[in-house]
Chain A
């Protein structure tokens, strides 16, 4: 008998021990599942794919076009490089004899071969001359013709060219300049998609997990040992840790791919910053919606009902995402998106995109974080109350009002 009594008092389980146990179960069962491995691989593939796309959109220009000059026109190479630079084309020139050069163009080792005479240029390409190079050659040909005319009129082409080259104008911008290179826009899109997908996926895992415990009735056994809030918080933290780990893996894979392929046309600190904010906003957005989903999940007893009970909350995730993904790439400074990005339920999907695009001032970031954190604190209380009241009620759907009021 005394042995029994000891058993009774020996069941010490600290408040946070219980939360840790629940979270630990979520982490081990979820990271061990096939679904987790598949989604991780898919997300890595998508992100690496985007980074490669970024490289394709911007990267080709980095190495520059390779232009071969036949010996007869070789002296023009330097002039061509400066003309090309003036029209925004990056080129590397080399001197080759005509036959070899033609073969190299055929093999794709050269983008273009310049032959003919200084007064009558001939450009050999495989199929087509890119627009930028087309302009450069046109300018070069015109300059040669101009030099010729100046010399004929008795002028000094070099003096004229230097005078022309020095001519400039002053520029006054009414708004601070913003350059949205394609790569930067893609960065914003990647961040938007990743944060959206992660919040959606892991938020719904919470709802499904809550309902799994209700539908399998194990919640009744669990709640004879721990309090409802411990179960809810443990579940939210455990699933969140899994989502966090997955997102970090995906984001690191993306940043490293970018560095390895030299895909960034912007400083790599911008990519790193975007990655940091993506993870931060995932955490804020996940906590917000996981609490909402935990409370909503507790209202129903069957997996089939999860969809309908969580639909309104899902709309709140989808709408800002759609606004972000459809408006921001075309118009990064869009006012409507900027305002939405400050509202707590919408910030997690919009703010990281705006930060990645470089259009979110620090005060807006700080304000949106403060508002989101405040909402999370309120939700901990609200969701805890609804969850505790509804989680043991099986059968028909518990009305929101009843779940809030009783207990």
Chain B
């Protein structure tokens, strides 16, 4: 596996505050990697370390097995958390300038800028100053800024925040395309449903550590087994007698149960049928949001610190 973006045991502290604690994960070529975590968990710090605008205290960032240099970083498309564009510079001119700083020739830069402005639906605003655009359109220009130089890696900090639904769709599509073209795409987001839908793999960060990382389905399969049963005539205590079964929630016969290992779900079904008709019966996997809440709120001592991808 040559083309892998590896973040290897990266640590960073600001004074007494530990921002990253041996953070380790990798993003493979052609993969969409969702980076989630609460505010202050270290996502932005990690991205800034990858981009080299922040020096890590320890650890390495490698691309295709070699440490990133200014030259290789020039091939990264980056969208910082705090958006950055010259407010009083015209959109097209600004994007051409940024593309040229990434090493493109004037002709290639101009062609690429026009292509992306068209694609992102802001071609008509090319000759306006950035500050005259709506926030949503500024966001599209910002995305264009991270894409114009045909990046070999994409690192986007909260690319979806502030976008309208149409722009979210455009952005999602662009990210998928880029991944399909063989680029590793790393992005952070608080919109977990979006991450769940979009990403091949997800990493959950807490206090500077990767606490869970892997394909979304795999992550959801971990943890306790849960069953959802809809038995309208059942009373609140219908499952109380079953060994190894706990009631998580009960709402007029709609019951969520947590099963210990080794408990036969068919026993549960029989108990449910004993109360009357059963409208629904099935395994309920936690959503990414539930998983996130669970992982993030977990006590530090229970965390598997070797959360390698």
Q: Which residues from chain A sit less than 8 Å from chain B, CB to CB?
A: 1, 4-5, 7-13, 18, 21, 25, 28-29, 212-213, 216-227, 392, 394
A328 to B195 Cα, complex, angstroms: 72
CB <8 Å contact, A4 and B101? no
> Which residues of chain B are near A28, meaning CB under 8 Å?
93
A224 to B74 Cα, complex, angstroms: 6
> Which residues of chain A are near B145, meaning CB under 8 Å?
221
Residue ID in chain B nearest A406 by CB atoms: B55
> Which residues between 166 and 225 of chain B lie within 8 Å of chain A, taking CB atoms?
181-183
CB <8 Å contact, B101 and A226? yes
From residue B91, how far is it (CB to closest CB) to chain A in Å? 13
> Which residues of chain A are near B280, meaning CB under 8 Å?
none
CB <8 Å contact, A217 and B80? yes
A219 to B53 Cα, complex, angstroms: 10
- Across the interface, B75 reaches (CB within 8 A) one of A8, A220, A394, namely A8
CB <8 Å contact, B53 and A21? no
From residue A190, how far is it (CB to closest CB) to chain B in Å? 33
Count chain A CB atoms within 10 A of each CB in B63, B72, B80 and give the residue with the most: B80
CB <8 Å contact, B83 and A1? no
A226 to B181 Cα, complex, angstroms: 27
CB <8 Å contact, B182 and A1? yes
Which 3 residue pairs of A and B lie closest in terms of their CB atoms, listed nearest first?
A11-B103, A217-B84, A218-B84
> Which residues of chain B are near A227, meaning CB under 8 Å?
70
A10 to B75 Cα, complex, angstroms: 9
> Which residues of chain B are near A18, meaning CB under 8 Å?
101
CB <8 Å contact, A219 and B151? no
CB <8 Å contact, B86 and A224? no
CB <8 Å contact, A21 and B97? yes
CB <8 Å contact, A218 and B86? yes
**Given A10-B103, A225-B102, CB of A216 within 8 Å of CB of B85:** yes
CB <8 Å contact, B101 and A7? no
> Which residues between 112 and 167 of chain B lie within 8 Å of chain A, taking CB atoms?
145, 149-152
Type the 1/0 row for B273-292, where 1 means its CB is closer than 8 Å to any CB of A: 00000000000000000000
> Which residues of chain B are near A218, meaning CB under 8 Å?
84-86
> Which residues of chain B are near A221, meaning CB under 8 Å?
78, 80, 84, 98, 145
> Which residues of chain A are near B48, meaning CB under 8 Å?
220
A18 to B103 Cα, complex, angstroms: 9
> Which residues of chain B are near A13, meaning CB under 8 Å?
74, 101-103
27 contacts between A and B (CB under 8 A): A1-B29, A4-B29, A4-B181, A4-B183, A5-B152, A7-B150, A7-B151, A7-B152, A8-B63, A21-B100, A212-B87, A216-B84, A216-B85, A216-B86, A217-B83, A217-B84, A219-B84, A220-B53, A221-B78, A223-B53, A224-B76, A224-B78, A225-B73, A225-B98, A226-B70, A226-B101, A392-B53
A231 to B206 Cα, complex, angstroms: 35
Residue ID in chain A nearest B151 by CB atoms: A7
A208 to B162 Cα, complex, angstroms: 29
- Across the interface, A12 reaches (CB within 8 A) one of B29, B103, B182, B183, namely B103
- Across the interface, B101 reaches (CB within 8 A) one of A8, A21, A29, A212, namely A21
A394 to B74 Cα, complex, angstroms: 22
Known contacts A13-B103, A220-B80, A224-B76; can you find 7 more A-B pairs with CB under 8 A? A11-B149, A29-B88, A220-B82, A221-B80, A221-B84, A221-B145, A224-B73
Q: Which residues from chain B sit less than 8 Å from chain A, CB to CB?
A: 3, 29, 48, 51-54, 63-64, 70-76, 78, 80, 82-89, 93, 97-98, 100-104, 145, 149-152, 181-183
Residue ID in chain B nearest A12 by CB atoms: B103
From residue A213, how far is it (CB to closest CB) to chain B in Å? 8
What does DSSP make chain A's interface, helix, strand, loop or mixed? helix
A221 to B54 Cα, complex, angstroms: 12
From residue A282, how far is it (CB to closest CB) to chain B in Å? 26
CB <8 Å contact, B82 and A8? no
From residue B227, how far is it (CB to closest CB) to chain A in Å? 44
CB <8 Å contact, A392 and B54? yes
From residue A152, how far is it (CB to closest CB) to chain B in Å? 89
Residue ID in chain A nearest B85 by CB atoms: A218
Count chain B CB atoms within 10 A of each CB in A7, A10, A11, A212 and give the residue with the most: A11
A10 to B104 Cα, complex, angstroms: 9
> Which residues of chain A are near B64, meaning CB under 8 Å?
5
CB <8 Å contact, B87 and A225? no
CB <8 Å contact, B72 and A8? yes
> Which residues of chain A are near B181, meaning CB under 8 Å?
4
- Across the interface, B71 reaches (CB within 8 A) one of A11, A29, A220, A392, namely A11
CB <8 Å contact, B53 and A224? yes
A10 to B88 Cα, complex, angstroms: 30
From residue A159, how far is it (CB to closest CB) to chain B in Å? 84
**Given A18-B101, A217-B83, CB of A224 within 8 Å of CB of B52:** yes
> Which residues of chain A are near B88, meaning CB under 8 Å?
29
**Given A10-B103, A11-B103, CB of A224 within 8 Å of CB of B51:** yes
A21 to B97 Cα, complex, angstroms: 8
A4 to B4 Cα, complex, angstroms: 13
Residue ID in chain B nearest A227 by CB atoms: B70
A224 to B152 Cα, complex, angstroms: 14
Residue ID in chain B nearest A213 by CB atoms: B86
> Which residues of chain B are near A212, meaning CB under 8 Å?
86-87
Residue ID in chain B nearest A224 by CB atoms: B51
- Across the interface, A225 reaches (CB within 8 A) one of B82, B101, B182, B183, namely B101
From residue A403, how far is it (CB to closest CB) to chain B in Å? 15
From residue B113, how far is it (CB to closest CB) to chain A in Å? 15
From residue B219, how far is it (CB to closest CB) to chain A in Å? 28
CB <8 Å contact, B182 and A25? no
A28 to B70 Cα, complex, angstroms: 27
> Which residues of chain A are near B103, meaning CB under 8 Å?
10-13, 225
A96 to B100 Cα, complex, angstroms: 78
A394 to B44 Cα, complex, angstroms: 14
A392 to B82 Cα, complex, angstroms: 12
Count chain A CB atoms within 10 A of each CB in B29, B73, B74, B80 and give the residue with the most: B74
Residue ID in chain A nearest B76 by CB atoms: A224
From residue B84, how far is it (CB to closest CB) to chain A in Å? 4
> Which residues of chain B are near A9, meaning CB under 8 Å?
71
> Which residues of chain B are near A21, meaning CB under 8 Å?
97, 100-101
From residue A388, how far is it (CB to closest CB) to chain B in Å? 11
> Which residues of chain B are near A225, meaning CB under 8 Å?
70, 73-74, 98, 101-103
